A and B are shown apart, each in its own frame.
Chain A
């Protein structure tokens, strides 16, 4: 191999390459080989293969790191950094993509918008996420971000004949483009400071300046706007409820977990990389944002009657908790971010999957009322939803408790007692709105007799998310070790 594409480069790139390859293959095969609607199930095989090969790539990266005794390796002269962190997050993305692809088949059929390119977009978005977790160069990161975002703009508006879906897509596109503008502006300032786009160089250059240097502050402020938008932190959260409500539910699920996890990976890379020396500036800023996010997310969720909107606000509040892990800034906190995102992926996906199952031929299934009497109608769905909601609220022995536990632990360690008490108090608020759903399911009488949508993929996905949400809570040790690697290796 030439010096432009070494074997290390190959190792670093292979998962993304697989995702992109199979993503494009799906697009191509969709209209060349499988023109008939009923042949589309073969596309799922492509998705599974793409994700499988990408996973294999991750395993090889892990083995490579272990064999060489390395904490990390860089490729393409520093543009990609493969470490425990990137591998950990990439596993999350792959799992989310696979689960979402599995459940989309039946859902899109019901919506009457089943097109092959949907699966291509999932793989391409995942490819973008790969670069967000593994990129260590401003340009790589930005391209990854845009690749992911553009796929999502299309997927949010995938229901072409649904006004809400169109509106959501336009809103998300406009605000997203605007925030990307801020981000790029921030990046240009960082480049101006360092004269390089490599994160390592920028870190050194920023560290040589005072944290209160106006240029550093400008970079910090504009970059933060872009990043906080992506994780839907207050005050840049306005797009989330609308986009979540209008998008096809499967896309909402994907958006709320994978896009959020990827953006958090990106945010952690930037804040603990180039901006680490300005910690004293951004820590108070981020704690204010976190508190505002918790407040708005939790309080606004209380009055929602649309489940997707309710879960949208709840996911805003979860962003607040995750930010608190970063605010605490100690190893526990960073590990907490990783654990939280892992747990959040499964529990939030699970909750949305139940909403996916509620969509039937003639029933939209997005209202709180549509859940009423679920325990009578379909006890398995009701009990699974209960587990997901308890986990989202953070009640042991579900996984969500563990996630919150890490955040509290990190805050106590950092002696941020006030933040800890505020964060704890919002757990009680959250239980109120989560239990409005529980109340509908278990106490109210059913309004319709129509059975829930079902398919093998949906059942499988619900089973996996449900089992994991409980298993991580009851026996978390192996999962914590996984997250531990992601932090220690950094």
Chain B
């Protein structure tokens, strides 16, 4: 075999039917775009031109120690644990719904949402938690044995 032929032979392979499916995908997308290109959503007249954001005022400096990221993470974890505790342990009362709403509003406005269990999980996944067989004493033991929580409390 000549050197020219060796160099011209490409050593790469593609998955089976790659080019066929590539063209098929492309044409499916084009066909769709020929039928519909826009969402159909609209805004109230002048909405975007007039849109403005109320910039939050700087909160007053207090003598409270600013929480570092590590502490915020622990607090978020504790908040999530408390929500679960409310769900599992506290018996249903007439004012339970209101209390949870107030708690949720507080968490929504004051706590970084990205760490909260309730926002990581979907409604279905949260519902699945109800069927977990975890007793109140087990949750309590877990929290007591968690060194990080104790450290935080001592701090």
Q: Do A and B interact with each other, yes or no?
A: no
Binding site for A on B (CB under 8 A): none
